[in-house]
C-alpha cells in the first residue's frame, strides 16, 4: 500500500495497526461517560474498567475506599458497563422507593440457562411484578405462624445434634456447616414439605446442594458478560452455563416429588410451592421417560407462573433460602462469643421470657434484646454488601444525571459502617438498635434486606428462623471462643460477605 511521498507500507502492517486501534477504541469508548457528566471516580483500564480492583481487593473494601476518596456519587466501570456508586440518602430514597419504576430491574445477567434465568432474581418489569404478587402471601404473618411448629422441630434437631457433638467431646463446632444444616432443614420442610437428614454430609440433598455452588465455566461466562456480552447467546446455545446439570436435575426431581405429594393430598398445606402451583399455567404432570420434569408442559393459559418460572423459583429458594441465613447465624454466634457480657444479657432475657419452653411466634417477639443483637449483626455483616438497580430511562436526581442502562450500586456495607451515621461503626453494640434509638435511625441508613418494592421477599422468614434457632441454642449452651476461632475474621473478595475459612466456636452446656 502506497502512502504520501511514495512511502510503501505492507498491507499486513496496516491491517494489524487498524485492528489494534479498533480493539482499543472498542474497549475504551464507554469510559468517557462519567467524565462528560463531571462525576468523579477511579481511572478505568481497557476492557476491564475497574473490575480488577474490585475482584482483587473485595467489593466492600473498594466501595468504602472510593466513597472516602471521591464522595457519595462515584462513577466506575465493571468491564465496559458504566456503574454509579450512590450513598447519598436522598438519591437512594428516589432509586429504591419514590422513583422505583425507573429503577425496577436488577442487572440483566443471563448466564444460568433454563430454567434458572427465569428466576425471581433475574425477572424484570411486569414479569417480576406478577411473581412478587403471587409469592408474597406465602411469607405473610399468618403463614409464618403456621410454619413455627416446623421451625421448632428443626430447632430441636439442631439442639439435639449439638448436644450429641458435645457429649462425644466434639464441642468445638464449625459454625457455618452446622447452621447450614439447620437452615436447609427449615427451607425444605416449610417451603416444600420435604424432609431430609440435613446433618448427614452424605445425604444426596446436601451433596447436590454443595455441588450446585460449583459454577461450571464461571470464569469464562462472567468475563464474557463483562468484556464481550454479545457472545453469551452463543455460549448458552451450546449449553455452557454457570449451573451444573446433575445437581439441577436432582432438585427438579425433588420438586416433582413434592408436587406429586401435594396432588395426592386432599388438603395440601399452603406453602411457597403451593402458592406457585395455585398460580401455575398448568401444573398437571405429563407421562414421560422419567427424565423430564412434570412442569415442562405446554400451556395455553397465559396467566400465572410459567413452568420454567416455578422450577427456577423453587431451586432459587432451596439454595438462596439457606445460605445467607446460615451465614448471618454464624456472624451472630461469633459476636456473642466475642462479647460474653452481651451474650449473658441475651441469655438472661431468653431465660426470663422462655424458661425451658420452646419459642413460638408470640414469645419470640418478646426477645427484644436478641432482636437488637441480630439487627447489629446485620448492620456489621449485611448478607449482600451492595444493592443493584438499572436505570430504565435517563433520570436526574439531585442534579446528577443517570443515563439509561447505567447500573446503580448502593454500597450497603459502606453505609452501615459510616462513622457519620454510627459512632464506633466497627464495634458490636446492640444498644444502638434499642426501640428508642431505632425509631430515630434514618430509613436509608440501615438496609440489610434492601428497601422498597424489590426488597428481600423472605426477610421475615429469615429473621424468625435465625432468632428461633439461636434462642433455642442459648437455652442449652454458651458460645465461647477457642484456639481455633478466627480472630479477626477474614473475608473473600466477593460480592457477598463470605468468610475466608472456618469459624469455630466451643459449645459449653449450661
pLDDT tens string 418-461: 999 999 999 999 999 999 999 889 889 999 999 999 999 889 99
With contact defined as beta carbons under 8 Å apart, do 437 and 431 qualify? Answer: yes
10 Å Cβ neighbour count for 56?
A: 10
Q: b/e per residue, 289-307, with b = 16+ CB within 10 A?
A: eeeebbbbbeeeeeebbbb
Packed helices 307-338 and 175-192: angle between N→C axes, nearest 10 degrees: 140
pLDDT band, residue 215 (cuts 50/70/90): low
Mean of the per-residue pLDDT values for the chain? Answer: 85
The domain containing residue 330 runs over which residues? Answer: 53-509
Asked whether residue 350 is domain-assigned, the answer is: yes
Ligand-binding annotation for 482, yes or no, is no
Instruction: Give the chain's count of helices (H) and strands (E).
Output: 19, 9
Asked whether residue 5 is domain-assigned, the answer is: no
pLDDT tens digits for range 196-207: 888 988 888 888
Q: Tell me, rounded to whole angstroms, the distance of Cα 343 from its chain centroid.
A: 27
- Comparing 407 with 263, the larger pLDDT belongs to 407
pLDDT score, position 14: 58
Place of cell 489494534: 20
pLDDT score, position 293: 47
Give the C-alpha separation, 413 to 376, whole Å. 12
Residue 247 has pLDDT above 70, yes or no: yes
Choose the weakest-confidence range: 206-220, 383-397, 494-508.
Answer: 206-220
The predicted model scores a pTM of 0.88
pLDDT score, position 27: 62
Asked whether residue 33 is domain-assigned, the answer is: no
- Total domains in the chain come to 1
Asked whether residue 19 is domain-assigned, the answer is: no
**How much is the average pLDDT of 225-246?**
73
- Comparing 307 with 413, the larger pLDDT belongs to 413
Asked whether residue 31 is domain-assigned, the answer is: no
Residue 300 has pLDDT above 60, yes or no: no
Pairing of strands 81-86, 407-410: parallel
pLDDT score, position 393: 96
CATH code of the domain covering residue 254: 1.10.630.10
CA distances from 151 to 190, 285, 342, 439 (A): 7, 30, 25, 30
- Comparing 14 with 208, the larger pLDDT belongs to 208
Smallest Cα–Cα separation from 275: which of 254, 304, 296, 252? 304
Contact partners, residue 240, CB within 8 Å, separation at least 6 = 216, 217, 220, 221
Q: Which of 114-118, 321-325, 437-441, 487-491 has the highest mean pLDDT?
A: 487-491
Cell of 328: 448471618
pLDDT band, residue 135 (cuts 50/70/90): confident
Asked whether residue 410 is domain-assigned, the answer is: yes
**How much is the average pLDDT of 292-316?**
62
Cell of 449: 434486606
Contact partners, residue 95, CB within 8 Å, separation at least 6 = 86, 103, 389, 397, 408, 410
- Three-state SS annotation for 84-97: EEECCHHHHHHHHH
Cell of 138: 406465602
Asked whether residue 233 is domain-assigned, the answer is: yes
Asked whether residue 399 is domain-assigned, the answer is: yes
Amino acid at each position: 500500500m502506497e502512502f504520501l511521498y511514495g512511502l510503501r507500507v505492507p498491507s499486513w502492517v496496516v491491517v494489524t495497526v487498524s485492528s489494534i486501534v479498533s480493539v482499543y477504541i472498542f474497549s475504551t469508548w464507554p469510559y468517557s461517560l462519567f467524565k462528560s457528566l463531571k462525576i468523579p471516580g477511579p481511572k478505568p483500564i481497557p476492557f476491564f474498567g475497574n473490575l480488577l480492583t474490585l475482584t482483587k481487593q473485595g467489593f466492600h473494601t473498594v466501595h468504602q475506599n472510593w466513597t472516602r476518596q471521591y464522595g457519595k456519587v462515584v462513577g466506575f466501570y465493571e468491564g465496559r458497563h458504566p456503574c454509579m456508586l450512590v450513598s447519598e440518602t436522598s438519591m437512594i430514597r428516589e432509586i429504591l422507593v419514590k422513583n422505583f419504576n425507573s429503577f425496577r430491574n436488577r442487572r440483566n445477567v443471563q448466564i444460568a440457562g433454563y430454567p434458572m434465568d427465569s428466576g425471581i432474581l433475574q425477572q424484570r418489569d411486569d414479569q417480576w411484578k406478577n411473581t412478587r404478587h403471587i409469592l408474597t402471601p406465602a411469607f405473610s404473618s399468618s403463614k409464618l405462624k403456621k410454619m413455627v411448629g416446623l421451625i421448632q422441630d428443626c430447632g430441636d434437631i439442631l439442639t439435639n445434634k449439638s448436644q450429641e457433638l458435645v457429649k462425644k467431646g466434639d464441642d468445638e463446632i464449625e459454625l457455618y456447616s452446622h447452621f447450614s444444616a439447620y437452615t436447609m432443614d427449615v427451607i425444605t420442610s416449610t417451603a416444600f414439605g420435604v424432609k431430609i437428614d440435613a446433618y448427614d454430609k452424605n445425604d444426596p440433598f446436601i451433596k447436590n446442594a454443595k455441588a450446585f455452588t460449583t459454577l461450571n465455566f464461571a470464569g469464562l461466562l462472567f468475563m464474557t458478560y463483562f468484556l464481550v456480552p454479545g457472545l453469551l447467546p452463543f455460549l448458552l446455545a451450546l449449553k455452557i452455563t454457570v449451573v451444573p446439570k446433575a445437581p439441577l436435575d436432582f432438585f427438579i426431581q425433588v420438586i416433582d416429588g413434592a408436587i406429586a405429594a401435594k396432588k395426592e393430598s386432599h388438603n395440601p398445606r399452603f406453602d411457597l410451592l403451593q402458592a406457585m402451583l395455585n398460580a401455575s399455567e398448568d401444573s398437571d404432570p405429563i407421562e414421560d421417560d422419567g427424565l423430564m420434569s412434570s412442569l415442562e408442559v405446554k400451556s395455553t393459559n397465559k396467566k400465572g407462573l410459567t413452568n420454567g418460572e416455578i422450577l427456577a423459583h423453587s431451586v432459587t429458594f432451596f439454595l438462596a433460602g439457606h445460605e445467607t441465613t446460615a451465614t448471618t447465624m454464624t456472624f451472630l454466634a461469633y459476636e456473642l462469643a466475642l462479647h460474653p457480657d452481651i451474650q449473658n444479657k441475651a441469655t438472661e432475657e431468653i431465660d426470663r421470657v422462655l424458661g425451658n419452653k420452646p419459642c413460638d411466634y408470640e414469645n419470640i417477639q418478646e426477645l427484644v434484646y436478641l432482636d437488637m443483637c441480630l439487627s447489629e449483626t446485620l448492620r456489621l455483616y449485611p448478607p449482600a454488601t451492595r444493592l443493584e438497580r438499572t436505570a430504565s430511562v435517563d433520570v436526574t436526581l439531585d442534579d446528577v444525571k443517570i443515563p439509561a442502562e447505567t447500573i446503580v450500586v448502593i454500597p450497603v456495607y459502606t453505609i452501615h459502617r459510616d462513622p457519620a451515621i454510627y459512632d464506633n461503626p466497627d464495634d458490636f453494640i446492640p444498644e444502638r438498635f434499642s426501640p428508642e434509638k431505632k425509631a430515630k435511625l434514618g430509613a436509608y441508613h440501615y438496609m440489610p434486606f434492601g428497601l422498597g418494592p424489590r426488597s428481600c421477599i423472605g426477610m421475615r422468614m429469615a429473621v424468625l428462623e435465625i432468632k428461633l434457632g439461636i434462642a433455642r441454642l442459648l437455652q442449652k449452651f454458651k458460645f465461647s471462643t477457642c484456639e481455633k476461632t478466627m480472630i479477626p475474621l477474614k473475608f473473600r473478595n466477593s460480592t457477598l460477605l463470605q468468610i475466608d475459612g472456618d469459624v469455630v466456636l466451643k459449645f459449653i452446656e449450661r
